[in-house]
Amino acid sequence: MNDRENVGARRPATAQERQKLQRYCRQVEKDLPELRRQATRTERQRRASAMREPTVSGQLRRAISESGMDHREPADQTGLSPKALAEFLAGAAALDSAAIDKLAAFLKHQLKPIG
């Protein structure tokens, strides 16, 4: 049988394969806290960088941050998904102008022209 014929085929794992899997699981458990710390640190850095942008989006990110609200509240009040707003706040995604207008209105924030 070649690899294509084995797709979906099931067989019990050998003792050697089980041991290997257990080693991998232990290594993941050991590395996970550090990986989480790195991801959190990277997310904070990306968010801080996005907030410092000299753009309309940067102004809006700062206004949301300064409001002290969790991102879910402005998302709920403006019809955005919390995920979309979180990605915007992290600088990982853009929002369309209608969403920007809704957020600015909700926050009662006057966006200033850039330039």
> In this structure, what token pair is assigned to residue 27?
């290594």
Q: So where are the chain's domains?
A: 14-107
26, 32 in Cβ contact below 8 A?
Answer: no
> What integer pLDDT is reported at residue 7 of this predicted model?
66
Q: Average per-residue pLDDT in the chain?
A: 85
Burial grade of 1 (CB within 10 A; 0-12, 13-18, 19 or more)? exposed
pLDDT tens profile 64-76: 888 888 889 999 9
Residue 104, number of CB atoms within 10 A of its CB:
18
Contact 99, 75 (CB under 8 A): no
